[in-house]
A and B are shown apart, each in its own frame.
Chain A
Amino acid sequence: MADTPRNATPGFDAAVAGRRAECDGGGPVLGTRYASRQEFAGTITGEYVDHGDPAWRWYLMTDLTLKPDGYPDDTVWCEKNSIFFADEDDT
């Protein structure tokens, strides 16, 4: 399982717990000046962590049905605004 990030305040949001979602994820590529998208799909557990003020919220996604080839973990932390819930029309 993905480690809980340091320097963050954890919590639980029942409103999103158990909902299927996609995450347009990604981030910086280690050792380069570049970034890359990574797509995930799974279930949002409801667990979150808030970084700093104003709060930067990240939700934990589990039961991954889509993840990049070779992605080593069973879970991923997803930034709140990069999550697209299956029961909402985001197209």
Chain B
Amino acid sequence: MSKNPMQTKFCDLMGIEFPIIAFTHCKDVVASVVNAGGFAVLGEAMHTPDEISADIKWIRSRVGDKPFGIDLVLPASAPGADTLEKLLAGIPEEHKKFAQHIKEKYNVPEPKGAQALHQWGGLNQDIARGQIDVILDEKAPAFVSGLGSPEFMLKAAHERGMKVFGLIGKTRQAKRELEAGVDAIIAQGYDAAGHTGPIGTFSIVPEVAAIAGDVPVIAAGGVTHGRHLAAALCLGAAGVWTGTIWLACRESDNDMIIKEKLIEATSDDTVYSRSVSGFPMRVLKCPWTAEWAKPEAPKTLNSPYQMLLSSDYIQAANDHRRADLMFEAAGQGVAFVKSMKPARQIVFDMVEEALAAFEEITGELPE
């Protein structure tokens, strides 16, 4: 093998050693992955501009000049805003009764405090704009748009020396963002955790790679093992976007109960369910998802009504650390989350597994 397949154009673009991107909501994971030679992106969708600014400074204090990214969920469409009271009043009685039935059947306690969901004002264009402005002010090394197009802020970001990546679920979205001039495209497949697009990772990645030219394509969805990394590079990707694998790592601030559930889970233990948010969302199976999947359950509500309905269960489960009730978003690759390893070890293991996979195919070790 004449070329090390780990040295991709994404590595060249960002000046990193390994084409592994960790997406996480935990700053400690970001620092560990970046210092291990990978790239990491901190999800900040639920944070205020002041919190984002403080987080960027904290990461810089841990990684120095090494690059990292900040992810926001830019909205792509927006209805008019309703008050919480109006939304709560819109939940049908049948659905309230069914939620109460689940609560009684599983002895779900009352949440300890006011529901965080009810205190959060949501994310409209005004709030998102404030988040973007602070990322530009702080000159974060990279900005990742987790949903809507970042085209409007590309010029401003590039003028500040920043890179901008877009996450897409359809080829036409990739085409639009490539034309706008993003520095990398993250093509996310159906296997991923949370809310995903309808197209599988094996289909979306080579399709986007075919139109991306020299722009690096990053494969997302179901990536938790070095074999996935090797396969993604063969599909035309220049790296992988990983999420689930970091949820149970040593540095992760997830509850220990959730970490244990992730480690025990197989690929059959996730479910694509509308019962949590009203949108199809891949999560670990739990009593809430199981009950809403039964024939006698009412049809799940549209967002945000279903989320308002499920928020009582979620908050109570987490407040009281009820292992039988708790769940987390997880991708289908969760089966390869086997232990609570340090994040840097996950990076090194994934690289070694990928190189072993290439060696199996070619009979050679890369230089």
Task: Say yes or no: A70-B123 contact (C-beta < 8 A), given A36-B277, A76-B77.
Answer: no
Is A55 in contact with B73, judged by CB distance below 8 angstroms? no
Is B305 in contact with A73, judged by CB distance below 8 angstroms? no
Query: What's the minimum C-beta distance from A11 to chain B, rounded to whole angstroms?
Result: 15
Task: Say yes or no: A31-B78 contact (C-beta < 8 A), given A56-B152, A81-B176.
Answer: no
Is A3 in contact with B81, judged by CB distance below 8 angstroms? yes
Is A35 in contact with B80, judged by CB distance below 8 angstroms? no
B74 partner residues in chain A, CB cutoff 8 A? 27, 79
- C-beta contact mask, A45-63 vs B, less than 8 Å → 1, else 0? 0000101101111100000
Q: How far is the CA of A25 from the CA of B124 in the complex (A)?
A: 13
Is A7 in contact with B303, judged by CB distance below 8 angstroms? no
Identify B75's interface contact among A27, A33, A69, CB under 8 A: A27
Is B302 in contact with A69, judged by CB distance below 8 angstroms? yes
Q: How far is the CA of A79 from the CA of B197 in the complex (A)?
A: 19
Is A73 in contact with B80, judged by CB distance below 8 angstroms? yes
Q: How far is the CA of A91 from the CA of B176 in the complex (A)?
A: 10
Q: List 18 A-B contacts (CB under 8 A).
A: A24-B172, A26-B75, A26-B77, A27-B73, A27-B74, A27-B78, A29-B303, A30-B117, A30-B120, A34-B73, A34-B329, A35-B195, A37-B197, A51-B129, A58-B78, A78-B76, A80-B151, A90-B172
Query: What's the minimum C-beta distance from A85 to chain B, rounded to whole angstroms?
Result: 12
Query: What's the minimum C-beta distance from A75 to chain B, rounded to whole angstroms?
Result: 8
Is A56 in contact with B76, judged by CB distance below 8 angstroms? no
Count the B residues whose beta carbon is within 8 Å of the partner chain — how many? 63
Q: How far is the CA of A61 from the CA of B231 in the complex (A)?
A: 41
Task: Say yes or no: A34-B194 contact (C-beta < 8 A), given A52-B133, A70-B302, A84-B172.
Answer: yes
Query: Lowest 10 CB-CB distances: which A-B pairs, in order?
Result: A25-B77, A70-B302, A31-B117, A27-B75, A81-B149, A3-B80, A36-B279, A36-B195, A82-B76, A30-B304
Tell yes or no: B363 within 8 A of A by CB: no
Please report B residues at the A interface, Cβ cutoff 8 Å.
Answer: 25, 43, 45-46, 73-82, 90, 115-117, 120, 122-126, 129, 132-133, 146-149, 151-153, 155-156, 169-173, 175-177, 180, 194-195, 197, 276-281, 301-305, 307-308, 311, 329
Please report A residues at the B interface, Cβ cutoff 8 Å.
Answer: 1-3, 5-8, 23-38, 40, 49, 51-52, 54-58, 68-73, 76-82, 84, 90-91
Q: Which residue of B lies closest to A76 (CB)?
A: B77
Q: How far is the CA of A24 from the CA of B145 in the complex (A)?
A: 14
